[in-house]
Structure 1
Amino acid sequence: MPPETNEILTKFCSRRYSISHVHIPVYLGVDIQIRENTSFYSISVHDGFYTTDFYEGELVRHDPSDKDPKEMVKEALEKLTETVYLYSKAKNYKVQLIACSYDIARDYLKDKSYMVNEETSMMSEFWKRLDAIPFQVQTSGESSDERASAAVRKAVMWLSPAYPSNLPRISVGYRHEVE
């Protein structure tokens, strides 16, 4: 069950790990939706087989009298990058892949070329800070959580024809035989 929007999910734990400790490998799908002058994020956590966790919350409250829409989207993307970084550290995750919905703030901005530049910059930041493979995925979900979940599922499928743990995908064919 996702936490409430006012709950902070990015607190570091004080636990010390041994030198041989291995972080939990996960794949993340992210999306931003801007509505009512507030940016909201969705994070979908995938372990390679199933979606294991989901979070959504508020990123930034915007003042439209101070900033134009481009600055508001840039501010939201920067905050999302920081939130994902803190989230991975707080949960002891090693983010292997991060899939971003291609149509972040699609209804909010009319200038698509600006968004492509900002999203590319955000993806480079994920690569630099998290050492995660960034994907931009075209999704068509109605809500932010659907787009984040679809993005990570598509990216995992593109990453390899077999599941990341080297187990082949099983398909059931004609006469209910495993192929």
Structure 2
Amino acid sequence: MVRILVEPQWEWPPSEIDDLQYVGSGAQGSVYKATLRGRVIAVKKVSKQSETEIRHLRGLCHPNVVQFLGVSIDGPWYSILMEYCPNGNLFDIIHNNTSVSIESIISWTQQIAQGMNYLHSHKVIHRDLKSPNILIGDDGQLKISDFGVSKEFTENSTKMSFAGTVAWMAPEIMRDEPCSFKVDVW
């Protein structure tokens, strides 16, 4: 018996994306809730095609990393299609003046560490890890998101461009020095 592996569709026509509802915006684009063939997804619209260059994230699959579903091009807009996380982000939970149990903090720390360990084992440097980029899935699971400045780590790619959020940026990136996975721990 011959088994044929079919690669999942990566580029989606805009006509497949329905029911766009604005969720919010950030430095790299606007995010919408939408449906793709009946599945609720998130659509991040960006104006530069370079911001959809996330092929190094294509095969990632971990419960603590947002699942990427593909890209779509619609006129001047480029869209990144990904798993929808309906429960907001960790920043909002931390700053909404409710008390958080030590058990929750331990669980969150473990989930983020597991997601980052997975990314690093797949040679992905996030470079902008912060509480607004940690989403909460429908099951309450934390998911690392916003890979707009992430890079695939290779032996030749230790020199990184100045990218990320300054308040959370590792000193070696700010000094334009070679860096490694350690920048995600800073």
More helix by share: 1
Q: TM-score, normalised by structure 1?
A: 0.29
Q: TM-score, normalised by structure 2?
A: 0.28
Identify which of structures 1 and 2 has the higher relative contact order when contacts are C-alpha pairs closer than 8 Å and 6+ apart.
Answer: 1
